[in-house]
């Protein structure tokens, strides 16, 4: 069976070395030494000033919304994972969808201004499939209308924009280290900001608002992560160059194998170095997409309709039709990419695909 993705598993002995230390210390959570070590190593690797390691990427979004004090309406994208929208609703705000660009699949900045009202306080958008949004255009609109910007950068580990980690852009960037992501800690996530006050506030928020034993500084939540998760991250980080490189080679091979096929791939943002986290392909119609999906499944290959459905169709949001997002969501599949996927498997995946096309 070939799934759409598999978690990278480091050599077990490497993980067990960390377990020994955990057993010696009997310190298993609450900002332990492995969590601190992982935070430092990730900051060094990504070359970012601040990062707070959290329990998952959804809590990261919620902490970001809370820390910026967003209220009322938040402009967002209909083409993302459900957590982008549900976090907005969970924080008591209203998502206002703006349609996407059909080539990058990111929010179309030219449509943002007409969606802004006097209730709008922020923009929360996803760098879809690790491909940066039009950051400059979004920041200009935010500055003009005094809005905060949060990037859901859950797919972006290793992506750079203008030579800097894409996590450095926006008021806050969030990411996910879930097992399905390029770099993972089983479950996990993070928030990034260049603003020291915000960073301080979020560091309190992730730990119930504690400012010392019996002392509280604002409302908080339990957003901490454990030594066991951090240990997985420390192991995986030593293999990150191989992981990034294998993804890149696999995507380039798919490009080659599908060169003649009638499929559309995404346009990467100029001045970005993409991390090749996913391999999305867009077909000419939903009928063809479903046929491909079926043919692949028959061969024990499981791509994913990602993202499907378009998020404005959720029952708990205002259903304003997003033509492009809805259309693309019906015609897109992410082909398998994961560390030990072989070239032979990729050839067989594209062969099956080309028979239908
Ligand atoms: C994975 C993902 C999330 C949620 O992250 P978790 O760590 O699973 O909570 C949010 N947004 C996007 C775009 C994602 O892909």
Residues 82-115 have pLDDT tens digits of 999 999 999 999 999 999 999 999 999 999 999 9
Residue 48 lies in a domain: yes
Q: Cis (ω within 30 of 0) for the bond into 275?
A: no
Taking the CA of residue 181 as reference, the ligand 1 atom at the shortest distance is: 1
Clarify whether residues 20 and 119 are in a common domain: yes
Looking at the chain, how many residues does it have?
357
Structural contact between residues 207 and 48, judged by C-beta atoms closer than 8 angstroms: no
Domain of residue 282 covers 240-356
Residue 228 lies in a domain: yes
Clarify whether residues 281 and 209 are in a common domain: no
Clarify whether residues 161 and 258 are in a common domain: no
CA of 26 to the centre of ligand 1 (A): 31
Residues 292-315 have pLDDT tens digits of 999 999 999 999 999 999 999 999
Ligand 1: which of 53, 83, 132 to mutate, judged by most atoms within 8 Å of the beta carbon? 83
CB neighbourhood size of 94 (10 A): 15
- Tell me what pLDDT residue 181 has: 97
CA of 130 to the centre of ligand 1 (A): 12
CA of 261 to the centre of ligand 1 (A): 31
- Tell me what pLDDT residue 103 has: 97
Residue 332 lies in a domain: yes
Clarify whether residues 158 and 265 are in a common domain: no
Residue 4 lies in a domain: no
Total number of domains in the chain: 2
| Whole-angstrom distance, CA of residue 17 vs CA of residue 29 | 17
Taking the CA of residue 180 as reference, the ligand 1 atom at the shortest distance is: 1
Domain endpoint, select from 237, 272, 287: 237
Clarify whether residues 123 and 22 are in a common domain: yes
CA of 82 to the centre of ligand 1 (A): 8
Clarify whether residues 133 and 36 are in a common domain: yes
Ligand 1 site residues, Cβ closer than 6 angstroms: 56-58, 80-81, 83-84, 126, 152, 154-155, 176, 178, 189
Ligand 1: which of 4, 7, 81, 175 to mutate, judged by most atoms within 8 Å of the beta carbon? 81
Enumerate residues 6+ apart whose C-beta is below 8 A from 57. 83, 152, 154, 174, 175, 176, 177, 178, 188, 189
CA of 176 to the centre of ligand 1 (A): 5
| Whole-angstrom distance, CA of residue 19 vs CA of residue 140 | 48
- Tell me what pLDDT residue 319 has: 84
Structural contact between residues 293 and 305, judged by C-beta atoms closer than 8 angstroms: yes
Residue 168 lies in a domain: yes
| Whole-angstrom distance, CA of residue 155 vs CA of residue 153 | 5
The token pair at 247 is 């993804």
Taking the CA of residue 128 as reference, the ligand 1 atom at the shortest distance is: 13
Taking the CA of residue 80 as reference, the ligand 1 atom at the shortest distance is: 13
Q: Name the packing angle between helices 82-90 and 57-67 (round to 10°).
A: 40
Q: Taking 90 as the threshold, does the pLDDT of residue 357 lie above it? A: no
Q: Taking 90 as the threshold, does the pLDDT of residue 76 lie above it? A: yes
Structural contact between residues 278 and 130, judged by C-beta atoms closer than 8 angstroms: yes
Q: Phi, psi (5° rounding) for residue 122?
A: -160, 170
Taking the CA of residue 61 as reference, the ligand 1 atom at the shortest distance is: 10
Residue 195 lies in a domain: yes
Domain endpoint, select from 237, 264, 288: 237
Give the CATH number, domain containing residue 327.
3.90.1150.10
Nearest CA to ligand 1 atom 7: 57
Least Cα distance to 59 among 197, 240, 189 occurs for 189
CA of 86 to the centre of ligand 1 (A): 11
Clarify whether residues 78 and 112 are in a common domain: yes
SS3 sequence, the chain? CECCCCCCCCCHHHHHHHHHHHHHHCCCCCCCHHHHHHHHHHHHHHCCCCCEEECCHHHHHHHHHHHCCCCCEEEECCCCCHHHHHHHHHCCCEEEECCECCCCCCECHHHCHHHCCCCEEEEEEECHHHCCCCHHHHHHHHHHHCCEEEEECCCCCCCEECCEEHHHCCCEEEEECCCCCCCCCCCCEEEECCCHHHHHHHHHHCECCECCCCCECCCCCECCCCHHHHHHHHHHHCCHHHHHHHHHHHHHHHHHHCCCCCCECCCCCCCEECCCCCEEEECCCHHHHHHHHHHHHHCCECCECCCCCCHHHCCCCCCCCCHHHHHHHHHEEEECCCCCCCHHHHHHHHHHHHHHC
Give the CATH number, domain containing residue 138.
3.40.640.10
CA of 57 to the centre of ligand 1 (A): 5
Q: Phi, psi (5° rounding) for residue 154?
A: -60, -25
Place of tokens 């009638």: 262
Clarify whether residues 226 and 266 are in a common domain: no
Clarify whether residues 167 and 269 are in a common domain: no
Clarify whether residues 90 and 158 are in a common domain: yes
Nearest CA to ligand 1 atom 10: 83
Say if strands 148-152 and 172-176 run parallel, antiparallel, or are unpaired. parallel
Percent of the chain exceeding pLDDT 90 equals: 99
Question: Per-residue pLDDT averaged across 31-42, rounded?
Answer: 98
Domain endpoint, select from 222, 237, 252: 237
Residue 280 lies in a domain: yes
Residues 128-151 have pLDDT tens digits of 999 999 999 999 999 999 999 999
CA of 152 to the centre of ligand 1 (A): 8
Question: Per-residue pLDDT averaged across 71-89, rounded?
Answer: 98
Residues 263-285 have pLDDT tens digits of 999 999 999 999 999 999 999 99
Taking the CA of residue 189 as reference, the ligand 1 atom at the shortest distance is: 7
CA of 63 to the centre of ligand 1 (A): 14
Structural contact between residues 169 and 196, judged by C-beta atoms closer than 8 angstroms: no
Clarify whether residues 248 and 223 are in a common domain: no
Least Cα distance to 105 among 137, 76, 129 occurs for 129
Residues 151-167 have pLDDT tens digits of 999 999 999 999 999 99
Residue 323 lies in a domain: yes
Clarify whether residues 253 and 217 are in a common domain: no
């Amino acid at each position: 069976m070939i799934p759409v993705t598999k978690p990278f598993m480091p050599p077990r002995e490497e993980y067990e070395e960390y377990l020994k230390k955990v057993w010696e210390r009997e310190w298993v959570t609450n900002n332990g030494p492995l969590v601190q070590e992982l935070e430092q190593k990730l900051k060094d690797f990504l070359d970012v000033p601040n990062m707070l390691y959290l329990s998952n990427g959804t809590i990261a979004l919620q902490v970001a919304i809370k820390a910026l004090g967003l209220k009322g309406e938040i402009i967002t994208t209909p083409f993302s994972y459900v957590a982008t929208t549900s976090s907005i609703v969970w924080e008591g705000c209203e998502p206002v969808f703006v349609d996407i660009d059909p080539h990058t699949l990111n929010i179309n900045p030219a449509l943002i201004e007409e969606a802004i009202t006097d209730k709008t306080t922020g923009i929360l958008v996803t760098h879809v499939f690790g491909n940066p949004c039009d950051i400059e255009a979004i920041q200009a609109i935010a500055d003009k209308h005094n809005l905060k910007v949060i990037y859901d950068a859950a797919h972006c580990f290793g992506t750079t924009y203008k030579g800097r980690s894409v996590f450095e852009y926006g008021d806050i960037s969030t990411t996910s280290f879930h097992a399905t992501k390029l770099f993972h800690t089983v479950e996990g996530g993070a928030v990034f900001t260049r603003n020291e006050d915000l960073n301080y506030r979020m560091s309190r928020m992730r730990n119930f608002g504690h400012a010392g034993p019996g002392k509280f500084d604002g409302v908080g939540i339990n957003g901490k992560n454990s030594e066991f998760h951090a240990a997985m991250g420390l192991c995986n980080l030593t293999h990150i160059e191989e992981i990034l490189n294998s993804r890149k080679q696999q995507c380039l091979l798919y490009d080659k194998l599908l060169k003649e096929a009638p499929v559309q791939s995404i346009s990467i943002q100029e001045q970005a170095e993409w991390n090749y986290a996913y391999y999305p392909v867009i077909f000419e119609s939903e009928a063809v997409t479903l046929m491909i999906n079926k043919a692949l499944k028959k061969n024990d290959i499981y791509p994913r309709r990602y993202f499907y459905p378009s998020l404005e169709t959720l029952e708990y949001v205002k259903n304003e039709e997003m033509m492009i997002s809805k259309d693309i969501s019906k015609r897109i599949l992410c082909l398998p990419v994961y560390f030990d996927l072989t070239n032979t498997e990729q050839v067989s995946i594209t062969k099956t695909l080309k028979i239908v096309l």
